A and B are shown apart, each in its own frame.
Chain A
Amino acid sequence: MRRVTQDVLIGAVFSLLCALLSRALFFSTGAPPAPAAQPKAAEPAWPELAQSATKVASYEIEAKLDTEHHRIAGRETIHFVNRSSAALNELWFHLYLNAFKNDKTLFLRSPFGAGRSGDKAHEYGYVDVKKLTIVAGDGRDLWAERDRHSPDDPEDETDLRVPLPSPLEPGRTLDLELEFEDQLPELVERTGFVDNFHFMGQWFPKLARLLPSGAFAHFAFHAQSEFYADFGDYDVSLDVPRGFRVGATGSRVRESETPDRTRLSYHAENVHDFAWTAWDRFEARSERIAGTQVSVLYPPHQRQNAEAELASVRYALPHFNALYGAYPYPTLTLVHPPEAAANAGGMEYPTLITTGGPWYSTFGGTHVIDVVTTHELGHQWFYGLLASNEHSEPFLDEGFNSYAEAEALESRFGAGSVFGAFGLSVSSTALNRLFSAARGEDEKVNQGAAEFATFRSMGALVYSRTAIVLGTLARVYGSQRVNHALGVYTRKFRFQHPTTADFLGVMQSELDSQAVIALKQALTERGTVDYLVREISNAPISAAAGVFDGPSGREQKKPEAPRPAAEFASRVVVYRHGSLQFPVQIALGFEDGTKQLRHWDGSGFTFNVDNVGPSRLVSVNVDPEQRILLDDDRSNNWLSTGDSSAPLSRERALYAAQLLLGALGP
């Protein structure tokens, strides 16, 4: 009995120690290291910040949510100003809820589930416009004269043209009134319902963006594409069943209740979309961060995730304010959808972002909550304030934002910005490089979202490769310089709709011409680069032998007797494959332990690194600091005549094998 007690006690002590160690190793909440100093907000030569957008389309909407049938009855007034240079004979409306109307729509008909989530609709959704009239007009229903389907696509009703009864001259305003009814789908991508959880994105009839030429930038809703719209002001009244908590774009300005309904009014200025959510199980946290009222709506039992999201905003909001210009809105709402509605997570709308992750997301050393929150917050600049065309130039928002996200996360967490536990750390840059290198040559980065062969391809190129292109520039030309250039771009085009040309124009003025050439090639021409070495050559130097005719006559020199050479001529040829050209460092190692660092500006396709010295060249490492993240293949960047027996890997593999044998065998 004494022995049994002793065994139980020993086992219990061991178990207790195991529990403590497991907690330290696996269940760390990922407490970050001391964050790096935040960038300074006031740098010289920043362009002045615009205070307001040029407003083209402003909306007043009244919406009543029926949570039982998942319907919205809506009434909408659009104040439209023709700010183009041409008279308008027509308007283009985006009715993106119709993307979920049936399996033949442009969005849903891909047999491969081309959307971000790859989801198909289970319960379909659509928007019916009941009536469209001109305010103070003759009451004629313009909707009756609309096109019945999207251009060249009889199966799709997400992009419809409405002829105007008379041309709208430049500078003239037009007030339109619509009545509409939404049937929400069961959640597809971001929009719809799951039980009582409702998320409304792209839920109201919305005008396509009016270009300065007088054309509309209109497009049917493609599964790989996001959005593009004009800035304006939004006044939205939401009527929901009592007990439902609501999160929405803008600031809540009024709230009233009846015995069974709640009516909430929201106001948002200088934004280009309005999204909202309603659920009767949301819990809420709110905090003032960097002058902005930040609210988090989260499911029950996810307080830890909500705290992690607030911590991310506490770091990233001032960080982005300093780098890209101050966040101009008074509120920011974070929505953490319930697990069953996970597809609603990870999306951006003006002043509202959705995050996501299961309840245990903060355990185990992963920074998934921080990654999603920081990424979506970054979109408040790269999408929200710089409202580029996400359909035709998606890299301008997703790509730059992926770079901004990686920069902020690495400045906060260091090398373990994506994962850091159990002795292993994975950085955002490493992960972006993995995806970028795997698919970097498949397609070009700068093309329309719908043009990418697959969403995976688009993800690798638009998100990861763009981040790696900017990351390479930052490592080669200095992160401060590149971040400054990006800061100039975000300030100069704040509340505007910048294009690739606008971006390259800023880079032209802020960076070297060689950097801009590389940037253009990498983004628009499928540019690649691979530095490599093939062999190291050493030759002993001895006195020249042979017959020499000199001023004193002919002289014959015999070859020296063999003896250890006093000097060696060493050479290694560094090759550059691909069209991109970056200056690169080359580290040389000699037999006597000395090291040298050489510089190649990257011009030409080969570079001879020659040395004459007392010792043989034994190793070469091209780009030893891994600055050129775009380098296609890192395994050919080095050579060494020394031991390549991989001792650390051998040790780890041996230990893993011993553990495996222990588990499998006796």
Chain B
Amino acid sequence: MNDGTTTRLTWLSSAAAAGMLLWISRTLLGLLVSYPIVLAIRASAMSNGPDGDAVLFQPGSLLLLELLRIGAPWLASALRVALLLALLCAISELVPLALALDLLRLPGRPLLERTRRALRVFPGFLALGAIALLVQAALLLAPSLLSAALKPALSSADERLRSLAPIVLIGLGLFACAGFGALLDIARATLLQREQRELPDRAGRGARAALAHALLCFRRQPFRVLASVYPSIAGGLLGFLCAAWLLLRQDPMMPTARALALAFGAHQLAVLFAIGWRVRWLAAALELSAEND
């Protein structure tokens, strides 16, 4: 086995470990986020029958709508709690993300060392996340405002143009959000790499400097940044659509246990597929950051 193959295998095993780490953390946090919703469904008594909650998924949705009618107050409260939990969990998930980046950057280090580093970069990751949230909110708000401003001008236009214009504008907003997300990942990678190198300059290890560096990477290699993140975004969407398409074809009369196994398998494969492509992009983000640093 030559050195190239060994390096490749080491990288692959690190990538697999990073992927598994992200999947496990997302699954555990997902269980936490979804728990209030499950409790609300159980509280509605709609799953207390001999067929459990399979009745909610019957063709025609007679009992699913009954759940929405009877359980609306609980479900609304549960949804609010779940969204709050999702926000907290998204923040917590920054630690496994830092660990995953660390695994991709420096394979073979002790877990304790990685964990310490991940916790050290956490405030920076959090600051970057807050900036991203604000920027992405603005990027989504802008098309809505633009659509509203264009409404009078489009009032006499073809109705297809009238209904498609806001969709296209929101699509552009989402595209810009995805682009900014890519910058954010490069900034995170920069932050982690600078932490690993233990730069003496504290300002150089800060979130602002990392974001400035990410912008520099984008200015220098815009096409490479966008091309590298493209499979990750498209892969995530593809996994989601494939799972939906597959489950659409399942027999609605299938026994509950089989239906459950099939749905769980398809959904988790979709999540793993998306995470796999994301890990590949994170490795590219580390490369981009290192090359330009």
Q: Which residues of A contact B (CB under 8 A)?
A: 3-4, 7-8, 10-11, 14-15, 17-18, 21-22, 24-25, 299, 301, 338-339, 358-360, 414-416, 422-427, 429-431, 433-434, 437-438, 587, 589, 618-621, 626, 633-640, 642-662, 664-666
Contacts and interface: CB of A to CB of B under 8 A. Distances in A.
A657 B37 CA distance: 10
B29 A7 contact: no
Contacts of B256: 647-648
A657 B244 CA distance: 16
B15 to A, nearest CB: 16
Contacts of A657: 29-34, 82, 86
B33 A649 contact: no
B94 A17 contact: no
Contact of B87 (A358, A636, A664): A664
A44 B162 CA distance: 54
Given A358-B163, A433-B62, A646 B34 contact: no
A637 B46 CA distance: 9
Nearest to A427: B60
Contacts of A426: 60-61, 65
Interface string B78-89: 000010001101
B69 interface: yes
B228 A423 contact: no
Interface stretch (B3-11, B207-215, B257-265): B257-265
A647 B159 CA distance: 45
B34 A25 contact: no
A653 B37 CA distance: 7
Interface stretch (B104-112, B142-150, B195-203, B234-242): B234-242
B158 A301 contact: yes
A648 B274 contact: no
Given A14-B238, A301-B158, A339-B162, 14 more contacts: A21-B245, A359-B159, A359-B163, A427-B61, A434-B69, A621-B51, A640-B49, A646-B52, A648-B52, A648-B259, A649-B41, A662-B26, A665-B89, A666-B96
23 contacts: A4-B228, A7-B284, A21-B245, A301-B160, A415-B61, A425-B59, A425-B61, A433-B65, A634-B63, A634-B70, A635-B67, A642-B52, A643-B52, A645-B47, A648-B259, A649-B47, A657-B29, A658-B267, A658-B271, A665-B89, A666-B22, A666-B93, A666-B94
A424 B61 contact: yes
B56 interface: yes
B57 interface: yes
B75 to A, nearest CB: 11
A646 B86 contact: no
B208 to A, nearest CB: 20
B180 interface: no
Contacts of A434: 65-66, 68-69
A21 B242 contact: yes
A637 B55 CA distance: 13
Contacts of B260: 647-648, 651
Contacts of B234: 10-11, 14-15, 18
A634 B67 CA distance: 9
Closest 3 A/B residue pairs (Cβ): A638-B49, A11-B230, A665-B90
Given A427-B60, A640-B50, A655 B271 contact: yes
Contact of B66 (A422, A427, A437): A437
B161 to A, nearest CB: 10
B62 A638 contact: no
B241 A21 contact: yes
Looking at chain B, what size class is its interface with the partner chain? 35 or more
A338 B159 contact: yes
Contacts of B32: 657
Nearest to A655: B267
B52 A427 contact: no
A282 B62 CA distance: 39
Contacts of A11: 227, 230-231, 233-234
Interface of B: 22, 26-27, 29-34, 37-38, 41-42, 44-54, 56-70, 82, 86-87, 89-91, 93-94, 96-97, 158-160, 162-163, 188, 223-224, 227-228, 230-231, 233-238, 240-242, 244-245, 247-248, 256, 259-260, 263-264, 267-268, 271, 274, 284
Contacts of B70: 633-635
A644 B47 contact: yes
A51 to B, nearest CB: 40
Main secondary structure of the interface of B (DSSP, over half): helix
Contacts of B227: 4, 7-8, 11
A653 B256 CA distance: 16
Nearest to B257: A647
A427 B62 contact: yes
A661 B65 contact: no
Contacts of B188: 666
Given A8-B230, A358-B159, A653 B38 contact: yes
Contact of A414 (B37, B59, B259, B271): B59
Given A17-B238, A359-B163, A426-B65, A25 B60 contact: no
B188 to A, nearest CB: 8
A652 B31 CA distance: 11
Nearest to B224: A4
B29 to A, nearest CB: 6
Contacts of A639: 48-49
A664 B90 contact: yes
A649 B48 contact: no
A14 B58 CA distance: 32
A665 B100 CA distance: 14
Contacts of A654: 27, 30-31, 34, 267
Nearest to B247: A423
A411 to B, nearest CB: 13
Contacts of B46: 634-635
Contacts of B42: 644-646
Contacts of B86: 657, 660-661, 664
Contacts of A7: 227-228, 230-231, 284
A570 B66 CA distance: 30
Contact of B48 (A339, A360, A640, A659): A640
A16 to B, nearest CB: 9
B257 to A, nearest CB: 9
A363 to B, nearest CB: 11
B62 A635 contact: no
Of residues A635, A647, A666, which shows the largest number of chain B Cβ atoms within 10 Å of its Cβ? A666
A648 B57 contact: yes
Nearest to A642: B50
Given A423-B248, A661-B90, A339 B50 contact: no
B271 A587 contact: no
A431 B57 contact: no
Nearest to A652: B263
A648 B56 contact: yes
A651 B263 contact: yes
Given A8-B227, A8-B230, A661 B89 contact: yes
Contacts of A433: 62, 65-66
Given A359-B160, A649-B53, A665-B89, A656 B66 contact: no
Given A658-B27, A664-B90, A425 B60 contact: yes
A123 B240 CA distance: 50
A209 to B, nearest CB: 39
A4 B90 CA distance: 30
A380 B227 CA distance: 59
Contact of A658 (B26, B41, B51, B54): B26
A109 B3 CA distance: 86
Contacts of B163: 358-360
Contacts of B47: 644-646, 649
Given A431-B65, A655-B271, A18 B264 contact: no
A359 B164 CA distance: 11
Contacts of A646: 38, 41-42, 47, 52-53
Contact of A18 (B33, B56, B94, B241): B241
Contacts of A14: 231, 234-235, 237-238
